[in-house]
Amino acid sequence: MKLLHPIYTLTNPTRPVSRVTFVILALVTCVLDQLSKMIVVLYLEESVPVPLVPGLLDLRHVVNTGAAWSIASGHTGMLAGFSVLISVVIAVMAWRFGPAEQGLRIGLGLILGGAVGNLIDRVRLGYVVDFIDAHWFDKAHWPIFNVADSAICIGIGLWLLASFRYAPREKTAGSS
């Protein structure tokens, strides 16, 4: 049995990803995000670090009223509206993909699940719960993030990787 690299199998156009798989992946991502945030809110005091890997990784419950890196802080309504728009666009894109483009659905499923996970926070709480604090011995800190943010970043990477594997569609007669 030949072992294939996981990225190759996830982005292989000959291994189609169904619409059902796309929806399940988005739902699982969203549920994992919401469960992790519920645990953080219940068990972690706000802004108090809990070291996981001393000097490198902490759990730290923070609230974020902005987007990535706290961009657009305080504009929750605008960010929620943008999340709804992006979610609809992603769902339509994934649904319309043909058989040769189905590998792209994996990345889009992760992006959609993450976007909806953060959207639920914005609508329900007015902010997003973040809790993963990666840093280099308190000298350099990456912005604190959550499971949804991770899924969005991984999904974008997989989507980009998969998009390079597909040849552009040929134009048919009469199309511009």
Say what the pLDDT of residue 171 is.
Answer: 60
Asked, for residue 77, whether it belongs to a domain, the answer is yes
% residues pLDDT > 90 (the chain): 57
Asked, for residue 70, whether it belongs to a domain, the answer is yes
Q: Which domain holds residue 128?
A: 45-163
Find the catalytic residue in 58, 121, 133, 149. 149
Per the annotation, the verdict on 121 as an active-site residue is no
Asked, for residue 171, whether it belongs to a domain, the answer is no
| pTM (predicted TM-score) | 0.83
Q: Which pLDDT band holds residue 161 (cuts at 50, 70, 90)? A: confident
**What is the rounded distance in angstroms from the CA atom of residue 112 to the CA atom of residue 125?**
20
Per the annotation, the verdict on 133 as an active-site residue is no
Q: How many domains does the chain have?
A: 1
Find the catalytic residue in 33, 58, 121, 130. 130
Asked, for residue 143, whether it belongs to a domain, the answer is yes
| Each residue's pLDDT tens digit, 46-102 | 999 999 999 999 999 999 988 776 777 777 888 899 999 999 999 998 888 876 666
Asked, for residue 153, whether it belongs to a domain, the answer is yes
Asked, for residue 24, whether it belongs to a domain, the answer is no
Asked, for residue 128, whether it belongs to a domain, the answer is yes
**Closest CA relative to residue 29, chosen from 152, 137, 142, 123:** 152
Asked, for residue 168, whether it belongs to a domain, the answer is no
